Amino acid sequence: MRFVLATGAPNAIAVLAASNRGGLLHAPDLYMEKLVVGPSSKDKVDLDAPVHENLKAIAACLERRVEDLVVIVLERDRHQKLIADIRATGARIRLIGDGDLSAGIAAAVFGSGVHAVMGTGGAPEGVLTAAAMRCLNGEIFARLVVNKPEHEERCRAMGIKDIKKVYRAKDLAPGERVIFAATGVTDGTLMRGVRFFGDGIRTSSVIMQNDPHRIRFIDSIHVDASGDVRIRF
């Protein structure tokens, strides 16, 4: 998020997820392998399947060619093999510097131009993505990256016994009622960023819930009460 704001890159958001007590996994601050897809392909992919098989399955569900898919990956050295595997299939890659949460949301929204998110990112962001998937009917497959003894100790201290478990959205955000809210900070796929004008500030937000399933986009103008109100559309 800091990188996105510092460079003015797109898709920076301020976000909150809430649920009933115990409804969101208290994830350790570790990396997490992730695969995020939309509703149509959520039962046809597997975190441990080869990249080409997952992309072929996604393409079949969307009734398009693999070459027409867009996959978002964080631009990190650790993803060099993943990027090579995706390119070998002919699918298009969109590399991002940060913000795989925004990317995950886009993957579950029809018409966003994003069809999957792959790679390793922060575990807390994975929980937030899972909350959004519960509301959007998409899916995240995730597994904690535990490759040091201190990582395993941290997991056990937080009550996580199976460090090899593949989590899905209902595991990471198991609450009966889940609410997800986000406001754009910079312009992005789903929301415009914060816009300043002479009389105040304009923001774009989305509020989602899973019970009942409802998604609301909110365009707000925060008025400077000391001046005249002049709204620009």
- Residue 10, classed as helix, strand or coil, is coil
Q: Tell me, what's the pLDDT at 97?
A: 87
Among the listed residues 16, 8, 62, 23, the one whose alpha carbon sits nearest the alpha carbon of residue 211: 23
Give the model confidence (pLDDT) of 204-215 as tens digits: 999 999 999 999
CATH domain 26-174 topology: D-Maltodextrin-Binding Protein; domain 2 (3.40.190)
- Rounded to 5, what percent of the chain is helix, strand, coil? 30, 30, 40
Q: What is the Cα–Cα distance from 162 to 87, expressed in whole angstroms?
A: 33
Q: Tell me, what's the pLDDT at 137?
A: 95
Give the model confidence (pLDDT) of 75-107 as tens digits: 999 999 999 999 999 999 999 988 889 999 999
Look up the pTM and report it: 0.90
Q: What is the mean pLDDT of residues 199-208?
A: 92
Q: ∠6-181-159 over CA atoms, to 5°?
A: 90
Q: What is the mean pLDDT of residues 34-46?
A: 97
* DSSP code of residue 157: H
Among the listed residues 143, 188, 191, 183, the one whose alpha carbon sits nearest the alpha carbon of residue 28: 143
Kindly tell me if the per-residue pLDDT of 227 is higher than 80: no
Average pLDDT of every residue of the chain: 92
| Residues whose CB is less than 8 angstroms from the CB of residue 48 and which lie 6 or more positions away in sequence, other chains included | 166
1 band by pLDDT with thresholds 50, 70 and 90 = low
Give the model confidence (pLDDT) of 163-184 as tens digits: 999 999 999 999 999 999 999 9
Kindly tell me if the per-residue pLDDT of 25 is higher than 60: yes
Give the model confidence (pLDDT) of 137-156 as tens digits: 999 999 999 999 999 999 99
Structure tokens of 152?
């395993």
The residue ranges of every structural domain in the chain are: 26-174
Question: Is the omega angle on the peptide bond into residue 149 within 30 degrees of 0, that is, cis?
Answer: no
- The interaxial angle of helices 51-62 and 80-89, nearest 10 deg, is 50
Q: What is the mean pLDDT of residues 112-133?
A: 96
Q: Tell me, what's the pLDDT at 3?
A: 54
Helices (H) and strands (E) in the chain, counts: 7, 10
Beta bridge partners of 182: 15, 206
